C-alpha cells in the first residue's frame, strides 16, 4: 500500500516531467496541435499556460494560423507533466525559430503566441507552470497588451473562457 501511495505522489509531482520529440502534423487552433512521434503515434498537445481564442471567435483563425506558422511541419520538443481529461498532453512546445532554422529548439511556441497577441496567459493554471515560465508568460501578455498587437487591438477582447460560457 505504501508503494502505491508513493508511486501516486511521484506521478502527480510537478517537479517530474517528461520530454517528447515529435513532428508537428496538425494545428487545431491557437493552443492545440497534433504531433507524430518516432514510433508513428499521434499525440494531441495542448500548450501549457495559454488559452487562445476559439476558431469561431474574433482572432481565432489568426491565432491558429500564427501557431501553424510557428510550428507546423517542424520537429518539436515537448516538455510536459500531465494529460488533461481528453488525454491531451499539457506541455510547452519548443521549435526552431523561423529566422534561425539551425539554432535548435529555442522558441517556446506558447510564449510566442502571447508575444504576438494571439493568446491569453491562462492565469487560472499558472501554478502548473514552472516559475520562470509563469513570469515570462505574464510579461509577454503585458507587453502585447501595451503595444496593442493581435487580439489586444480590440478595445474589449473577450477571453476564450468567457466566450465558451456564452458571453459572446
Q: Which residues are catalytic?
A: 46, 54, 88
44 CB-side CA count, 13 A: 11
**How far apart are alpha carbons 17 and 25 in whole angstroms?**
23
**How far apart are alpha carbons 83 and 115 in whole angstroms?**
25
56 CB-side CA count, 13 A: 4
Residue pointed to by grid coordinates 500500500? 1
Q: Kindly give the pairing relationship between strand 18-29 and strand 32-37.
A: antiparallel
Amino acid at each position: 500500500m505504501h508503494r502505491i501511495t508513493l508511486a501516486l505522489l511521484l506521478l502527480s509531482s510537478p517537479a517530474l516531467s517528461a520530454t517528447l520529440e515529435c513532428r508537428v502534423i496538425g494545428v487545431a487552433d491557437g493552443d492545440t496541435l497534433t504531433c507524430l512521434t518516432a514510433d508513428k503515434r499521434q499525440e494531441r498537445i495542448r500548450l501549457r499556460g495559454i488559452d487562445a481564442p476559439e476558431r469561431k471567435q474574433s482572432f481565432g483563425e489568426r491565432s491558429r494560423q500564427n501557431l501553424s506558422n510557428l510550428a507546423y511541419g517542424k520537429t518539436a520538443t515537448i516538455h510536459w507533466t500531465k494529460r488533461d481529461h481528453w488525454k491531451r498532453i499539457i506541455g510547452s512546445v519548443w521549435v526552431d525559430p523561423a529566422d534561425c532554422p539551425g539554432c535548435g529548439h529555442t522558441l517556446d511556441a506558447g510564449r510566442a503566441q502571447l508575444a504576438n497577441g494571439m493568446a491569453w496567459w491562462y492565469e487560472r493554471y499558472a501554478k502548473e507552470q514552472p516559475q520562470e515560465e509563469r513570469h515570462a508568460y505574464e510579461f509577454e501578455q503585458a507587453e502585447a497588451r501595451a503595444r496593442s498587437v493581435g487580439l489586444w487591438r480590440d478595445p474589449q477582447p473577450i477571453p476564450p473562457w468567457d466566450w465558451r460560457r456564452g458571453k459572446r
